[in-house]
Each structure stands twice: as C-alpha cells, then as structure tokens.
Structure 1
Amino acid sequence: MGKLIVSLSPHAHGNETVEKNMYGVVIALIPAILVSLIYFGIGSAVVLLSSVASCVFIEWAISRYILKVNPSISDGSAIVTGLLLGMNLPSNLPIWIVMVGALVAIGIGKMTFGGLGNNPFNPALVGRCFLLVSFPAQMTSWPTSGHWLKYMDAQTGATPLSIMKTAIKSGDASVLNQLPDATQLLLGSNPNLGLGTIGEVCALALLLGLCYLLWKKVITWHIPVSIIGTVIIFSGILHLANPVYADPLTEVFTGGLMLGAIFMATDYVTSPMTHKGQIIYGVAIGFLTIVIRNWGSYPEGMSFAILIMNAFTPLINTYVKPKRFGEKQK
C-alpha cells in the first residue's frame, strides 16, 4: 500500500504567471492600437507613449524611493495600466494632463494600496475618471479622422454618444439619423464625427483582442458576454418602448463599452473570483452603463459603472463564496 503524502497548499501548479497574462493583454491590444494610429496618427502615438512611459516611471520611483522595495515594473502591469489609460484618453490631450492621469492611476489607484494585487479599483479607470472630473473640457474634445500629422490642433466634432444624448434630451428620434450605421460603427468609419477616445474607435479590433484573450485563456467569457448581453437586452427594451433611445447594436459599438467590457472589467484584482460572481458583476455593469448613458450627466457611463462595481466585488465574492468541503448547507 502506497504512502499518503500530506503537504501544504497549493496542491496544483499551473503555467500561468503575472508576466504571461499581462503581456497577453498587451498583444490583444495591438489591433486596437494599430487602428488608432491609422485614424488618429501622431496624436495616438504621443498620448500612448506618454501614458506608458509615465506609468512605468512613476511605479519605479514610488517602489524605489517611497516604499523602499525592489521595483517590479518587469511584470508588465505598469505597461498595461499605461496602455489602458492612454486608450481611454482623447488623442489631442496635452502631455502634462496625460502625466497627471498616470500619477493618479499608479500613485493613488495602485501603489497607495500596496501595488499589484492589492488595489480595489482599476488603476487606469481611476486615472481616467480623475481627469474627466478635473479637466472636462480637454477630456471631451474629440478629434475627427483625417488629421494624422496634427496633434493639439486637430479638428474636433461631436461623437455618436453625444448625438444619442441629444436625441434623448430633445425627445426627437430623428436626431439619431445622424449616426453611422452598425457596419461603420463596427469598423470605426465615422465621417465628420468625433471618434472618441483612442481605444474605442474600432469595435472589430477590440473583438479580435477578445478572441485572442479567450484563446489564450487569459480571461473567461463570463464578464464580457454578461456585460454586452445585458446592454443589448436593456437597450433593446428601451428602444422598443421609445425610439428616441438608440438601438442595441449602436449602444454596443459606440463609446468605450467594448473596451471596458473586454479589457477593463476583466481585471483579475478588481473583479469577482467565481464565474457566478462574474456574471452578477457583468450584468450590473451593463445595466449601470445604460442608466448613466441615458439619464446621467455624462454621455458615457462605462468607466463609472466599472468603478462602482469594483467597490461591490468583495460583497459579491462573499455572497457567492463556495461552500467548504463538509460544511453543512443552510
């Protein structure tokens, strides 16, 4: 009879590492980055590089000189935060504002709580929402396409989300006729309209990133599918009740919904651990996004919805916590 070997947990070893997952997210973002360079040109490059460089430097400086620990910037988490922050910004944002956003994202959103694995809120969204509240004019100035060599002085225009908000406020459904069709929104071809943030311009590029993340098992389907499904159902009900509300495909393909559902809400640290919890979390984010978009002050609600549900993640984890083996069922 063989010996029974008892050892401390963990009892299983996988090949997943922080570095592998973080650089997997970077690879998944490549299609969206390339599309942003096509549509925004030099502005996209300036903002993204400034954001990544600032986040990496700030994390290194705080680790070395304030926390007095060895900097862990090689794990790729600061690069991911910088990319996601940059993807949530306009391509004509001044560099100094990008640096302020990076300082808030890393300094307040991440390192204040002890660094990677300890932050309760998505750091990139903390930085983005801080900038949106502090610099509303600069953060809501959206360049149009065709200005590849222009950065600060690119021509700006209204975004599909602002048109949707105008239709709701005016009660005139004909305003929605100014919107591109679903195919144009999917590809990011919005002639004469502001293109929004760097990362939200092309839904198809983001979907390619989702396919890669699912293929490599960096994330599971539960959060993005529950968010997108909830938005489709809720916005569909509203559209049927009153055509002044945009149709479901328009809601899904506009703004930062795809970017948030795929890359922001799925953050390991700030999302629930179980699949059941992730579905509850995703449904709530989708519902809150539509509520904020249609009845809130801002045209976009994805960032605020994710941060709100980040705060509820510990409660969700407690609610759906699996029973211990042998524990009596209530």
Structure 2
Amino acid sequence: MALLRITSPHTQRAGRRTSWVMLMVILATIPGIAVQSWLFGWGTLINLAIAAITALLSEAAVLTMRRRSVAFYLKDYSALLTAVLLGIALPPSVPWWVTVTAVAFAVIFAKQLYGGLGNNPFNPAMVGYAIVLVSFPVPMTQWVGASDMVSSGSMLSLSQSLQAIFHHLPSIDSYTMATPLDGFKHKDSLSSTAAFNSIASLKGANLNSWLFINGAYLLGGLILLALRIITWHTPVAVLSSLSVISGVFYLIDPNHAATPWFHLTTGAAMFGAFFIATDPVTSCTSNRGKLVYGTGIGILIYVIRTWGGYPDGIAFGVLLMNFAAPLIDYYTQPRTYGHKKAKKGLTIKEDN
C-alpha cells in the first residue's frame, strides 16, 4: 500500500526571511549614517565601503574553503550587516588597515570559525571592534572634531578623507579631538562644571553633534520596533539601567559624576542599545531573559565608562553579557504549557 506523505504547514511569514531582516536593519542605520557623514565628513562612508568589501571577500574565502555555496550564503546579508556596524563604530579617520583587521577578524574568527550565522556565541562586530581597540588604541581614539567643522565649515573634503585613511597624514591630527566620553573620563581633578567649561570635547557644539547622532540611531531603533524586527525589552533595559545607575551616582556626587542625560546622548548609547545588544544570535531569547541581559549591559557600560580603561563600554559590556546569555536563558525560560516547574529537590522514600 502506498504511503501518503503530508508536509508540515508553511508557517514562515512572508518577507520575514533572514535576508529581509538583515536588510531592514541595514536600512535602519541610514539616518545615523547620514548624520555622521554630515558632521564628520566622508570618513564614515569610506569606512563603510572598505568594511563591506573586506566582509564580502572574507566571507567568500572562508565559504570556498569550507566548500559551501558562496552565492547562497552571501545573499543573507549577515556579512554586510557586520561590515555596516563596524563601519559606523570605527572613527571616521581611522587608517584603512584597522578597518580591514576589525572586519576580517569579525567575519572569519568570530563568525565562520564557529560554523557561520546562528552558531557564533559572541557578537562578531563587537569582537572585531574589541580586537582593534585593544591592539590599536591610538587611532581608535582619534575622532574628527565635529564642533570645529560645524562652526567653521572646515569639513574634510573627499580627497583629504582619502589621504587621512590611506596615508594617515600627520596633518589630520589638527582635525581630531577626543569624544565627550573620553574628555570627561580624563578630566582628572576638575569638577564637572569646570570640565564642561574648559575641555574642548565637552563644549556645547560637540555635545550637540553627539546628541544628533544618538537621536538618529534612536529613530532607526524605533523603525526596527515598528517593523517588529526587535522587541522593546533589550533596548529599554539597557537604557533604563544606564540611566538609573548613572542617576544614583550623580545624586551621590554631582561634582564629579555625569548626568544620565550625558550618558544617554554621548558615545554609542542608542546605537548599542538598538543595533548591537539586540543581535538575535548572541542575546537572550525569552522576554524576561532580555530584560536581565539588557540590564547587565547597561550596568557594565557605566562601570567601564567610569572606572574602566576605555571611554565607552558598549563592546565589552555586550561581549561579557554574551557569556552570560545561555545561563540567563536557562533560568528565565517560560514554563511549557501543561508542565509544572521542577522542584528544587526530590525526596526519596525507602520502603520498609
């Protein structure tokens, strides 16, 4: 007798393939990229181009060695998304070889070495960023001074940006300055008021520039929420915990601690909360787990910013919580319908 085969129902939502999700995340970064390019010049766009080429070539090379279909796996846009995230995170005037190192390490070692998309335990973009931050700390702290460019109109031209990135001319140093987080971190014994009045990177124009950048990435994050690509749990937990812990320390010592507003509107707070911490592969899966995961990231960001050796703590905060994500998921998974929660211990009665 012939067997009747019935396939499982098609439950995938139309347009919700991996490639569509990755592409939507990339498109959601456009407002932030546009603002960064307006404030910092062509450097961000050049970084994105270098990062994209490096990511695609690295992915293709590893897939070829693994005897996998290059065209099939490149079409999921995951390598391109890693390139975009790193191109955004790196300083606009960083030498080209720093970008190549970060992206190649992210794609080859942090992603493909574990088996490709879905198997990597750590966020590839943040692994690449952390590697170059530790290995090349000087170029990683040279950000173009947005305050001078906006006020004087001395924006780096395309040729100047290309020369700075590919030849790293010494003259580029006249255009660079520390970020507000870096300036506040190294204010030494100055009070908060004195630091904001005397340190160039803490002046109003530069602070407003970072406010615009964070606002643009907040807009992109809201787009991802509206498209239901991410849920609110992780970004809200990150920003809330960062606000609460910074607010507590500001109330304790307002002369030396920064306000919650400063922590939310400078650095990569919005970009990290909506585009980095929400990585579906390396973050938690349950809603309760996402809240715990995001809270841990927010606390670690403040701890690293305040007492760590680096001005921003997004990368290390995310990577440290990637370690904890499986454990958090284990203890926060919802109860399966029809099953009771396991008891803490079992009592074994002996028969008399």
Structures share a fold, TM > 0.5?
A: yes
Q: Distance in 2 between matches of 1:180 and 1:278?
A: 36
CA drift of 1:187 comes to 4.7
Decide whether aligned partners of structure 1 residues 278 and 312 sit closer, same or farther in structure 2, where only a CA change above 3 A counts.
same
| 2:106 maps to amino acid | A
1:279 aligns with 2:286: no
1:176 aligns with 2:196: yes
In structure 2, the residue matched to 1:92 is: 93
1:241-277: per-residue Cα shift (whole Å, max 9, x none)? 1011110011011111211111000000001001100
Q: Which runs of 5+ in 2 are unaligned?
A: 1-5, 150-154, 165-170, 344-352
Decide whether aligned partners of structure 1 residues 62 and 163 sit closer, same or farther in structure 2, where only a CA change above 3 A counts.
same
Asked if structure 2 preserves the Cα contact closer than 8 Å seen for 1:272 and 1:314, the reply is yes
CA drift of 1:158 comes to 2.1
Asked if structure 1 preserves the Cα contact closer than 8 Å seen for 2:214 and 2:269, the reply is no
Q: Distance in 2 between matches of 1:44 and 1:184?
A: 17
Q: Distance in 2 between matches of 1:186 and 1:327?
A: 53
1:289-330: per-residue Cα shift (whole Å, max 9, x none)? 101110111111111000000111111111112222332223
Asked if structure 2 preserves the Cα contact closer than 8 Å seen for 1:25 and 1:213, the reply is yes
Number of residue pairs the alignment of both structures matches: 311
In structure 1, the residue matched to 2:176 is: 156
Decide whether aligned partners of structure 1 residues 186 and 19 sit closer, same or farther in structure 2, where only a CA change above 3 A counts.
farther
Q: Distance in 2 between matches of 1:36 and 1:118?
A: 32
In structure 2, the residue matched to 1:313 is: 325
Q: Distance in 1 between matches of 2:9 and 2:50?
A: 40
Q: Distance in 1 between matches of 2:278 and 2:203?
A: 29
Structure (1 or 2) with the larger CA radius of gyration: 2
In structure 1, the residue matched to 2:66 is: 67
Q: For 2:177, what is the secondary structure of its paired residue?
A: coil
Asked if structure 1 preserves the Cα contact closer than 8 Å seen for 2:268 and 2:314, the reply is yes
With 141-150 and 254-263 compared, the bigger mean Cα shift is at 141-150
Q: TM-score, normalised by structure 2?
A: 0.84
Decide whether aligned partners of structure 1 residues 218 and 39 sit closer, same or farther in structure 2, where only a CA change above 3 A counts.
same
| 2:67 maps to amino acid | K
Match among 229, 236, 242 for residue 218 of structure 1: 229
In structure 2, the residue matched to 1:198 is: none
CA drift of 1:8 comes to 8.5
Asked if structure 2 preserves the Cα contact closer than 8 Å seen for 1:166 and 1:175, the reply is no
Q: Distance in 2 between matches of 1:11 and 1:38?
A: 45
Asked if structure 2 preserves the Cα contact closer than 8 Å seen for 1:185 and 1:202, the reply is no
1:260 aligns with 2:272: yes
Q: Distance in 2 between matches of 1:254 and 1:260?
A: 12
| 2:42 maps to amino acid | I
CA drift of 1:171 comes to 5.3
Asked if structure 1 preserves the Cα contact closer than 8 Å seen for 2:63 and 2:69, the reply is yes
| Cα RMSD for the two superposed structures | 2.0
| 2:59 maps to amino acid | E
Asked if structure 1 preserves the Cα contact closer than 8 Å seen for 2:181 and 2:311, the reply is yes
In structure 2, the residue matched to 1:33 is: 33
1:110-165: per-residue Cα shift (whole Å, max 9, x none)? 00000001111110110000000111111111111323313214311122101221
Percent of aligned pairs with the same residue? 37
In structure 2, the residue matched to 1:197 is: none
Q: Distance in 2 between matches of 1:52 and 1:217?
A: 26
Decide whether aligned partners of structure 1 residues 8 and 316 sit closer, same or farther in structure 2, where only a CA change above 3 A counts.
farther
With 7-16 and 21-30 compared, the bigger mean Cα shift is at 7-16
CA drift of 1:9 comes to 7.1
- What does 1:188-267 align with in structure 2 at a 5 Å threshold? 188=210, 202-243=213-254, 244-267=256-279
